[in-house]
Amino acid sequence: MTTGSDSPAGQERTAVQAAVARLEAAAAGLPPVPDGRPGHVSLSEEVCDRLIDLAAARAWLRVTGPASPDGADDIDDIDDVMHGCVRWAVQEDVVRSRSAAMAAEATPPVREGQPVDSAHRLVTHLITSLADAAYYDEVCARLRTALGPRLDGRAAAAWDIADEALRGLGATRDEWVDADPAFTAAGGWVLVDRIGRLQLAAALLAEAAALSGEEGPLCTNATRRYTWNWLRQPPPEAATDIHVQRTGELVGWIRSAGPAGQGSAA
């Protein structure tokens, strides 16, 4: 395995740092939290959720640490995969924050910082790596280490959600390992996002456990909300050749129908 800050893993961590910087800029454009009048509560929730996404990204950077200039970091190709998953998740959060801020006059790329085809090439790269049993199992093992032991008090609920999500990666392992990425990449973003979100949640949990005073409970509440928002979904399931075939059929059918009201029926 390649190691050092000049390795692909070191470069991927730099890419995450750039994505977090874009998220910082997008979050700076979020509107102030409005008052609690009817019709304003939903916007307050949206702003809060986007800022919690930013808090998770900041926590990940602090827990992971910057790459050392002498290249002495103990990083390897597994980190390349894990950091790539974090980058995907953070880039998605940039888009959500920009949408909430309504700051851009022009429509931004579907994945901020990357055109959509480049973003999905990232997914294909990650899914191809995760099809290797050694990579998949080591990623899960490192996620388990990052999650650590169950926390006490209010943080326990967040830990439980993250633990269930992590165990879900084991439940669907056989759908991803040794599978053909030509098919599994079709839905591979769900696995990439889950691995990224688990790392971000683990970083928030670590900070919640370390903080004292008023910040500790606030970070715990942020962690509970983050895991509730992102890790309650079912385990990530892989696409099959039938799924890919049906996708092609659906695309062809919808595009051939023409504008609304101009269907093919006589």
Amino acid at 179: A
pLDDT tens for the chain, residues 1 to 266 = 554 444 555 788 889 999 999 999 999 888 887 666 666 677 788 889 999 999 999 999 999 875 444 444 567 899 999 999 999 999 999 988 888 776 444 445 445 555 666 777 888 999 999 999 999 999 999 999 999 999 999 999 999 999 999 999 999 999 999 999 888 888 899 999 999 999 999 999 999 999 988 899 999 999 999 999 999 989 999 988 888 889 888 889 888 877 765 554 44
* Euclidean distance between CA atoms 150 and 156, whole angstroms: 6
* Euclidean distance between CA atoms 191 and 96, whole angstroms: 19
Question: Residue 185 has which token pair?
Answer: 């990449």
Residue 68 confidence (pLDDT): 43
Residue 136 confidence (pLDDT): 98
Question: Residue 194 has which token pair?
Answer: 């889950």
In terms of Cα–Cα distance, which of 86, 101, 110, 105 is closest to 46?
Answer: 101
| pTM for this model (two decimals) | 0.85
Phi then psi for residue 152, to 5 deg, are -95, 170
Residue 60 confidence (pLDDT): 96
In terms of Cα–Cα distance, which of 174, 169, 176, 155 is closest to 227?
Answer: 155
Q: Are 198 and 231 in contact (CB under 8 A)?
A: yes
Please give the span between the terminal C-alpha atoms of the chain, in angstroms, as a whole number. Answer: 62
In terms of Cα–Cα distance, which of 27, 30, 32 is closest to 58?
Answer: 27
Residue 209 confidence (pLDDT): 92
Sequence-distant (≥ 6) Cβ neighbours of residue 181 within 8 angstroms:
124, 127, 128, 131, 188
In terms of Cα–Cα distance, which of 70, 72, 64 is closest to 12?
Answer: 64
